Amino acid sequence: MMLPDASSAAPCRICSAPVHHTFVDLGMSPLCESYLRPDQLNEMEAFYPLHVFVCERCFLVQLQEYVRPEAIFSEYAYFSSYSDAWLEHARRYTDGVVERFGLDAGSFVIELASNDGYLLRNFVARGIPAVGIEPAANIAEVAIRQGVRTRVAFFGRTLAEEIVAEEGRADLIVGNNVLAQVPDLNDFVAGMRVLLKPSGVITVEFPHLLRLMRDNQFDTIYHEHFSYFSFLTAESLFAAHDLVLFDVDELPTHGGSLRLYARHREDESKPITERIAALRRCETDEGFQRIESYGRFAQQVEQTKWKLLSFLIEAKRAGKSVVGYGAPGKGNTLLNYCGIRTDFLDYTVDKNPYKHGKFTPGTHIPIHPPGKILETRPDYVLILPWNFKDEIVRQMAGIGGWGGQFVVPIPEVRLIAASQG
Ligand SMILES: [Zn+2]
């Protein structure tokens, strides 16, 4: 496997311009969801470059497609329902859109990358017809068992035309955290336009590039995420397909996300809110339309790594024990890039039983159920899914009983005392 260099980078995923500006190079990493069984520990592992580029024409921050999506998403370990906070987010979203857009039993809702039905089950419970599209068969099965109609497929223009012919167009198309995983963005957005009723609404959520850069969230970069969007870049992508963004919410999820509301250009029943203009100004002021503004990020990332490693080295020198909490995809980018193995973390824990008894890819840290922490009473618990830190600190408050403390690695290493409520 050859490392890509400036001359071998693929053309831009949106505008096809040649792309040769490095955003950050995180070295070589395994696929972040490829957890290992014990019998795989002595085998060779595939590592791929995590070299991120930024397009100087449309400013899409992007990874090359080092691995085919079929190889990543056909059997996937991520089940949305293992986070209470995410389920609550889905419930609130449903309440909001049902009321705002007057959805009822005569409406039709489609979610792209519907995962285990965590969101659509809220629509089904209200008697609103809904269909999920999910490429991972093992995850779609869970949704179907819970009464959420799901088609196992990758979404694009061809599938959209099929659905229109069979079931008609949608009043609401939802795409949460899927845009980053789409190899052909133009085909995907074209498909959404085909599938949308003349008066319908699209909402998409994705981590906001502005927050990724401000808060050093380099660990949200992994091979499954091909693209990282600013508002301005997303707006130009939708505009190229005659879809207009008419509203935007800034959300705390995944370290700071945007929820965009899009409609057909011809549909003037939904006026464009002031929030759109405000966000456009904010990103313009931050320099998101100048290539030089993207150059600082790589140094911030190195600093973040040094600070985390300094903390861990000091802790180990002082004879302290450190374990992890969580085995999320982002944790695997962090552990591999920083070179953190069982020399620093004795083990990590996760609520997802699919991961128990397995090992983190590349770094081979064993994954146990959360109860393990109460048995071994470590001095420090490093929270890898820092976007759920409040939930985890609440659930694991018991570590305060023996003086244990939480550590959060991002935006930079920080201790959180365990308060025993
Ligand atoms: Zn481009």
Q: Ligand 1 centroid to 237 CA: how many Å?
A: 10
Q: Is 381 helix (H, G, I), strand (E, B) or coil?
A: strand
How close is the Cα of 186 to the center of ligand 1, in Å? 12
Q: How far is CA 420 from CA 235, 300, 400, in A?
A: 46, 34, 6
pLDDT 10s digits, 321-337: 999 999 998 899 999 99
Ligand 1 center to 53 CA (angstroms): 10
Instruction: Report the SS3 class of residue 148.
Output: coil
Q: How confident is the model at residue 158 (pLDDT cuts 50, 70, 90)?
A: very high
Over the stretch 215-263, which tens digit does the pLDDT of each residue have? 999 999 999 899 999 999 999 999 999 999 999 999 998 889 999 999 9
Which whole number is the average pLDDT over 142-154?
Answer: 95
Q: Percentage of the chain with pLDDT > 90? A: 86
Predicted local distance difference test score (pLDDT) of residue 365: 98
What is the 71 CA–ligand 1 centroid distance (Å)?
Answer: 25
Residue 413 has pLDDT above 70, yes or no: yes
Question: How large is the average pLDDT for residues 401-417?
Answer: 96
User: If you write DSSP's letter for every residue of 211-268 in order, what string do you get?
Assistant: HHHHTT-GGG--TT--EEB-HHHHHHHHHTTTEEEEEEEEE-GGGSEEEEEEEETT-T
* C-alpha 13 – ligand 1 centre gap (Å): 6
CA of 293 to the centre of ligand 1 (A): 16
For residue 4, is pLDDT > 60? Answer: no
SS3 state at 306: helix
C-alpha 298 to ligand 1 mean position (Å): 20
Task: Work out the average pLDDT over 393-406.
Answer: 96
- Confidence class for position 8, pLDDT limits 50, 70, 90: low
Residue 257 bridge partners (DSSP): 207, 251
18 Cα: distance to centroid of ligand 1 (angstroms): 8
| Per-residue pLDDT, 75 | 60
Q: If pLDDT is split at 50, 70 and 90, which confidence band does 401 have?
A: very high
The band of 1, judged by pLDDT with boundaries at 50, 70 and 90, is very low
278-289: per-residue pLDDT in tens?
Answer: 999 999 999 999
Q: Is 26 helix (H, G, I), strand (E, B) or coil?
A: strand
Give the separation between CA 173 and CA 155, rounded to whole angstroms. Answer: 12
- In tens, the pLDDT along 174-215 reads 999 999 999 999 999 999 999 999 999 999 999 999 999 999
Per-residue pLDDT at 161 exceeds 70? yes
Assess whether pLDDT exceeds 70 at residue 6.
Answer: no
